[in-house]
């Protein structure tokens, strides 16, 4: 369920950004037709591409869907889709969520801040069935997201062909419906984010008293890149200018304990570093309102020393 908690955290991070700026893309107007696909030329954001405005954040969502084109370290990216549907729908305005909203809004550009811990376990008490879940790519190819029933807890997940990912493009998310009514709607992907450093196959040793150099390539929308460091109930977030490089300072690493000193549940994820571009769009409405999150970038398994 750590993946579920991570999805919920990302959802709130994005909605908080929209609460402060009017859209996850900084209020950038839509200059293209829905359904378009724009080529990523690998430039470093000098001419950022705009995407459709996601609109006003919903007061509550039933589902959270994730569409992630992520590298393991500096390796080849994989495309994964996952989803869960909440009972009851999760309020985006009720406590403790304002804490994380204000935490995000107080992260200065090109700096790192420890965010307050929020326990999302109540959101997963009664995962719901939304029927068959399908992603339709810009080339009209259809990709199923597998429905899994774990003793009555319904979660969705699948690894999709990497070729199915197109940056800065429109996708369709379809659910045939069950307990959650059927729905259909569009979401858009961010530009590519190819991480080139730290160079690693996905596992990274991080001395807490030394800076970490992060570098990347690709075209975005002009919005900051998100860098996150995660360890159990500690998250440090950095909002950074999309100029291709950022140094995580030792002061940000000082929030973490040595990884070997922490007692963990056998099913618990380890410490991690994420470097991402993110977009969000609401698919469906009312009792089927689903927050569709798309991300590109890289993730590392971290050992803090």
Rounded average pLDDT over 34-39: 45
> pTM for the full model?
0.81
Rounded average pLDDT over 112-119: 74
Q: Are 259 and 304 in contact (CB under 8 A)?
A: yes
133, pLDDT greater than 90: yes
pLDDT of res. 118 = 58
51, pLDDT greater than 70: yes
CA distance 265 to 114: 23
Residue 261, number of CB atoms within 10 A of its CB: 7
Domain ranges of the chain: 2-304
pLDDT of res. 165 = 97
pLDDT of res. 100 = 46
28, pLDDT greater than 60: no
Binning pLDDT at 50, 70 and 90, where does residue 16 land?
very low
CA distance 178 to 23: 31
Rounded average pLDDT over 143-157: 89
Rounded average pLDDT over 39-59: 64
Binning pLDDT at 50, 70 and 90, where does residue 235 land?
confident
Tokens standing for 225?
Answer: 């890149």
Mean residue pLDDT of the chain comes to: 80
Binning pLDDT at 50, 70 and 90, where does residue 181 land?
very high
Q: Who wins on pLDDT, 232 or 22?
A: 232
Rounded average pLDDT over 85-95: 70
- The owner of tokens 């500690």 is 234
Question: What per-residue string of b and e applies to 86-119 under the rule 16 or more CB within 10 Å gives b?
Answer: beebbebeeeebeebbebbeebeeeebbbbeebe
Tokens standing for 272?
Answer: 């991690």
Binning pLDDT at 50, 70 and 90, where does residue 48 land?
low
pLDDT of res. 18 = 42
Rounded average pLDDT over 139-150: 94
């Amino acid at each position: 369920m750590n993946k579920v908690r991570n999805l919920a955290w990302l959802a709130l991070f994005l909605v908080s950004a929209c609460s402060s700026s009017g859209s996850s893309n900084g209020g950038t107007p839509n200059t293209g037709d829905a359904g378009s696909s724009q080529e990523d030329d690998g430039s470093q954001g000098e001419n950022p591409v705009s995407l459709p405005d996601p609109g006003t954040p919903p007061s509550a969502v039933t589902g959270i869907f994730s569409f992630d084109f992520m590298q393991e370290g500096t390796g080849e990216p994989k495309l994964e889709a996952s989803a869960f549907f909440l009972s009851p729908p999760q309020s985006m305005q009720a406590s403790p969520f304002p804490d994380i909203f204000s935490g995000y809004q107080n992260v200065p550009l090109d700096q790192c801040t420890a965010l307050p811990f929020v326990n999302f376990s109540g959101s997963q008490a009664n995962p719901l069935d939304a029927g068959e879940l399908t992603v339709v790519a810009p080339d009209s190819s259809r990709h199923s997201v597998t429905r899994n029933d774990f003793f009555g807890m319904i979660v969705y997940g699948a690894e999709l062909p990497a070729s199915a990912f197109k940056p800065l493009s429109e996708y369709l998310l379809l659910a045939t419906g069950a307990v959650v009514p059927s729905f259909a709607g569009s979401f858009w992907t961010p530009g590519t984010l190819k991480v080139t450093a730290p160079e690693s196959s996905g596992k990274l040793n991080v001395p807490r008293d030394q800076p970490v150099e992060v570098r990347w390539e690709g075209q975005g929308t002009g919005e900051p890149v998100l860098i996150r460091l995660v360890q159990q109930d500690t998250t440090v977030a950095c909002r950074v200018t999309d100029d291709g490089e950022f140094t995580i300072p030792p002061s940000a690493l000082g929030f973490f304990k040595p990884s070997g000193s922490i007692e963990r549940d056998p099913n618990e994820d380890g410490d991690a570093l994420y470097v991402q571009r993110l977009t969000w769009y609401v698919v469906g409405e009312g009792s089927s309102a689903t927050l569709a999150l798309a991300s590109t970038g890289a993730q590392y398994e971290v050992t803090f020393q």
